[in-house]
Structures are given as C-alpha cells and as structure tokens.
Chains A and B, each alone.
Chain A
Amino acid sequence: MPDKRDIVAQWVAREILPQEGRVRAWLFRQWRGAVDADDIIQEAYCRLSGLASVDHIENPLAYFRRTAHAAAVDLLRQSAEKNIVSVTESDWFDVLDESPSADRAVEAAQELRRIDGLLATLSDTCRRVIELRRIEGLSQRETAERLGVSENIVENNIVRGIRRVLAMMADQDVDPGEDAEKQEVARIGKLRSQ
C-alpha cells in the first residue's frame, strides 16, 4: 500500500516540478528585490509538504501559484521592509503567462525532449540503479553487488541524480525580461490601488 507521502511526492514530481522554473521567473519579476524567489519557493514547498491528499486539487499550477503568493506575502510581512505594499492575487494573475494549449504533436515532442534532457543529466550508474531497483526489484545490496560497487556509491549516485534533476527543473522555462514590467510592486508610501 503506497504511503500517503508517496502520492503527494509523485504529484509534485509530475505537476509541480516541471513548472518550478516558470514560477520562479514570475516570482522574480513580481517581487524583485522585495523578497527572494528562492525563499518563497522553499516556503511554498514547505506548505505543500503539509498536504494530506491532492485529490481536491483541480489545477496544480494555479494551486502552486496561490501557495507561493501566500508564502511571499507572509515572508514580506516578516521582513523589515514595512513600507512595501503587497500585491493582491488578482494583480498577479494579470501578469501570468497562460500559454495557449499547444498542438499534441508539439507537446509530445517537447515531452520527449524533456525526458531526454532529464536522462542526460543522470549518470549511467544512477540510471542503472533506478532500473535495477524499480524494474527488476533488486534490493540496495543486490544492486550494489550487481554493479560491483559499494552501497555507499549506489546511494551517492542517487543523491547526485536528485540534485541534478532538481537543478534542471529550477532552471526550466526561465526567460527573464519577457514582458515589460506592468505592475509596480513596491510602492513606497502609497496605498494599494484597486
């Protein structure tokens, strides 16, 4: 019986990670120096980790954006910059890039590139370890034996694989300077406009 945490982690892997780069870019454009995008993302994941189930989440990207937005607002409140006014969620959505649904063939080609990109970032050993563990069902010790390395090395390869995949996800879809800034976030001394 899969662990509840597994379900959430798998959902994050499929629905959230691929969007992370994009969300980082938006956060950077939106908040600039006011709050650090990395801190916001970190806090957002912390909130996601509290989820008991994901069945109720209809639109994962929107959910992640809302979570990140709330995290940003909270971090801002905690910060020393009392004179910065927070942006309402609706302001933010104006700026969001709702990319049109692409042609299936184009999406398929993109997905293929994405998978190949992920694979290229993994070491051969890491790939083998995953295949042996997940497809052939070997234990960690059996895997190490089969590959002729220590269990430590097996673990190290997985760790590196994780870090590389995450680094890749963080950078995806980042195109800085896409739209001209329409919304000024920090209005020092002014009231929030409606």
Chain B
Amino acid sequence: MASSVPSDDIDEQAARWAARAAYGDMPAALARAFDAWMAADRRHRGAYLRARAGLYAAEDAVLAKRGVSPSANLLAGNDDAAMPGMGFRPPWGAKARWALGGAVAASLLAVVGLGLPMLNRPGPGQVAAADHVLTLADGSAATLGDGARIEFAMGDGVRKVVLVQGEATFHVAKDRAHPFVVQSGDVYAQATGTVYSVRRIGKTGGAVRVDEGSVLVWGRDERDQAVLLHAGGALTLEPGPRLPVAAGLAQPTPPAPPPPELAQISLDNVTIAAAARRFNRINRTQIVITDPAIGEVRVVGLFRANDPQHFADAAAAVAGGEVRQSKDRIEIKMK
C-alpha cells in the first residue's frame, strides 16, 4: 500500500529533478543523487516521466504561441526521402499546433506570366515577370513558360501554388516545416526543398518532372496513394473529368507508373491491407495477408515501390505477425 511519503511531495521532487535535468546543471554529485532518488521508490520513476512530459507540454504551448515548430520533432512521421521504414501517425496536435501558432499570415498573390495583361505589379522583393522568373513570398523561385499563370498563397502551414495555366518550374526554398504544394487541375505535387516542373494537362491533369530532390504526387484526395518521384523522375496524371456527385465517386484513370527505381510508396495512415494492394499493383511478387486483424492495422511510412519484401517485414513487425515466403507470394500472418 502507499508509503508514508505523501504523493504530493513525490510530485514536487519529480518536478524539481525534471527542471534541473532540462534547464539546470547536473554535475556528477547531483547526477548520483538523481540516480539514487530514482532507485529509491518505484513511484519516483513514473512521477519523473510525468514531470518531464509536463515540461514538454509547457514548452510546446509557449513555442506554439511564438509561431515556432516544436523543437526536435521526434514524433512526426516525416517525408524525408532518405529514411524508409515505419513510424507512427503524427499526433493531430502537432499538425494543428503549427497551423494555429500562425507565424505566417495568409496572403494571396496573383501573378501573371508573359502574354497576358498584368493584373498586379510585382512587389519590391519580386523579379519582374518579363524575366520569366518570379520570386515568391517565401523565397522560392517560379520560372514561368509562355502564357503560364500561377497563384501563390501561404497559410495553414502550407505554401500553395495553383498552376492556372501553362507550365512552370519551381526552385523551392527549403522549409521542412511548411510543405510546398503545386496544384494543377486535380493533381497535386508536394515538395519540401527541390527543383521541379509542373505542366497543366487538360482540365484536371498535370505532368510533373523532377530535376532535384523529391516530390510527392497524387490526384484529387488520394494523398494516401501518393507516389514519390526523385530526380530524373516524371509522372503524368490525368484524373479524368469530375463526375457529378450523384453519379458516385469519380474513377481516376490509373496513372502510368513511373520507373520503379525512382518511385516510392508513401503510406500516410493507411491500413496494411490497402498498402499491400498498392504494392501488388506494381510488383509481380504479391503480398497476401492471411489474418484480417493484421490487414486492419494502420501504418505510416515510406518504402521503395519495388520492394514488397521490405514492406512486408516492417508491416509484420508492427502488427505483431510474421512473414512466410513462397515462390511468388509473401504471406503475412499472425505469429
């Protein structure tokens, strides 16, 4: 049963240790005292964890108000092309926190390329349209082709370009905290710091070509089906006409898959079953999920599109299953 030390005292001690560990000095003697305290009573460990968490919560609130992304974004699933593997879904709070921290005011600039009447004169920081290159408010550069038109807005944590017409190449200023998305009809191409081109195709389509870095491409609201293109990669998506709502969900034309070596499959909180279907569309070796319970587990991660084995291993690890291989099949089942 409870020892004679009131838990309030334990919480006070824990808060002090947490404050010292994060903000103060812990010379050797004090560190030893800390270890002794932690070992002295089982409850100290839990109280200490809670106190450290409380400090992080306080920090997050202060940082959010100042419009700073939480430091050491250790928990967010990130779209860093260099890190394949599983993570867990970023807490909703983390995303919203940036949106509300709101260091960036929403501003809309309509920019017009050559060949069309100038509606707005470029501002002082911007390069004139006559040079084909426009500097956007975030420092990114957009080179417009003949007759191209774009609109740029920053808000809600996203830098958004709408490609109204024509073709444009973007040198995206690196800013991991704020994704840069180009919308061409119903096709979206997102990057964090890259060089890529987007061309309008028909009413709803777009052709994306990547010169440097990596770009995530998807159609309509199928971001969970996005394909990650790398330098040298290109993808044309034509989602097809939007059907009236009464007719049911629009069926987009399946995109011509980019060369597998250049493509990755990005999973943004999708079920293992849905992810497996995507891999199976592209690869000869098919993933089979024997136990439905495994299929329902949701995952976040980034994988080479032509490596279903790696995905199956990771999925099995997360869902507590195991992988069994046969000739053209990879089976994921419960242990």
Interface residues of A (CB under 8 A from B): 2, 5-18, 38-39, 42-50, 54-58, 60, 78-79, 107-108, 111-112, 115, 118-119, 122, 126-127, 129-131, 133-135, 140, 143, 151, 154-155, 158-159, 161-163, 165-166, 169
Contacts and interface: CB of A to CB of B under 8 A. Distances in A.
Contact of A165 (B58, B91, B298): B58
Given A18-B93, A163-B12, A111 B52 contact: no
Interface in B46-75: 46-66, 68, 71-72, 74-75
Given A17-B50, A44-B46, A111-B93, 8 more contacts: A12-B53, A43-B46, A45-B46, A47-B46, A49-B45, A122-B62, A134-B62, A162-B55
B65 A154 contact: no
Given A7-B75, A38-B7, A162 B24 contact: no
A126 to B, nearest CB: 7
Given A14-B75, A58-B298, A158-B19, A166 B48 contact: no
A70 to B, nearest CB: 14
B94 interface: yes
Contacts of A119: 61-62, 65
B55 to A, nearest CB: 5
Nearest to B57: A13
A49 B46 contact: yes
A125 to B, nearest CB: 12
A17 B54 contact: yes
B46 A48 contact: yes
B33 interface: no
Contacts, number: 170
Given A12-B49, A130-B58, A135 B19 contact: no
A162 B58 contact: yes
28 contacts: A2-B74, A5-B52, A7-B75, A10-B56, A12-B49, A12-B53, A12-B56, A13-B53, A14-B75, A17-B57, A45-B47, A49-B46, A111-B93, A111-B96, A111-B97, A111-B100, A112-B100, A122-B61, A133-B23, A135-B63, A155-B16, A158-B23, A161-B58, A162-B18, A162-B51, A163-B15, A165-B58, A169-B57
Contacts of B297: 58
B61 A118 contact: yes
A9 B23 contact: no
Contact of B57 (A5, A118, A143, A151): A118
Contact of B50 (A14, A45, A47, A50): A45
Nearest to A8: B49
B20, B45, B49, B68: most-surrounded residue (chain A CB, <10 A):
B49
Interface residues of B, number: 58
B104 to A, nearest CB: 15
Interface in B92-115: 92-94, 96-97, 99-100
B318 interface: yes
Contacts of A154: 23
A58 B271 CA distance: 12
A29 B153 CA distance: 49
B65 A79 contact: no
B43 interface: yes
Contacts of A11: 75
B133 interface: no
B86 interface: yes
B24 A155 contact: yes
B42 A46 contact: yes
Most chain A CB inside 10 Å of its own CB: which residue of B23, B47, B50, B86: B50
B149 to A, nearest CB: 30
A6 B65 contact: no
Nearest to B55: A162
B116 interface: no
Contacts of B240: none
Contact of B100 (A9, A115, A134): A115
8 closest cross-chain pairs (CB), A and B: A45-B46, A46-B46, A13-B56, A12-B53, A9-B52, A118-B61, A13-B53, A158-B19
Contacts of A50: 45
A9 B56 contact: yes
B25 interface: yes
A155 B21 CA distance: 10
